[in-house]
Amino acid sequence: NAGVMQNPRHLVRRRGQEARLRCSPMKGHSHVYWYRQLPEEGLKFMVYLQKENIIDESGMPKERFSAEFPKEGPSILRIQQVVRGDSAAYFCASSPNSGAVTGELFFGEGSRLTVL
């Protein structure tokens, strides 16, 4: 059973470009979480999705950021018109249920975004 798969592992963008980060949850998992880790900091919650629904996006900036988890295919975190401050590691986690409460989150290896 493959773990949470994130791609790309590394992404370089110039200011103003778009970044798309993909996350395929573990098989059988219908809950996906996105976290952002800035250098020298802990992970900060961004958004929680179930299939086709955004459940909680309280941690996601209102501008330029969006997330989706379609019925088919991976979850995608999209950042439009990237700025240098978007440079970070973006982690995806999945669970078979609302696992955040019990901690049953399975993390991917992260996608590192560098904005030049």
Interface map 15-44 toward another protein (x if CB under 8 A): ------------------x-x----xxxxx
Q: Whole-number minimum distance, CB 51 to another protein, in Å?
A: 16
Distance in angstroms (rounded) separating the CA atoms of residues 15 and 25: 29
Alpha-carbon distance of 105 to 38, in angstroms, equals 20
- 39, two tokens: 């250098």
Asked if 49 is part of the footprint of another protein (rule: CB under 8 A), the reply reads: no
Rounded alpha-carbon distances, angstroms, from residue 115 to 12, 89, 98: 6, 12, 33
Scan residues 59-78 and list those touching another protein (CB under 8 A).
59
For another protein, give the closer residue by CB, 15 or 27. Answer: 27
Q: Please identify, using beta-carbon distances, which residue of 54 and 76 lies nearer to another protein.
A: 54
Angstrom distances, CA of residue 53 to CA of 13, 31, 115: 28, 10, 29
Identify the residue among 48, 65, 69, 90 touching another protein (CB under 8 A).
48
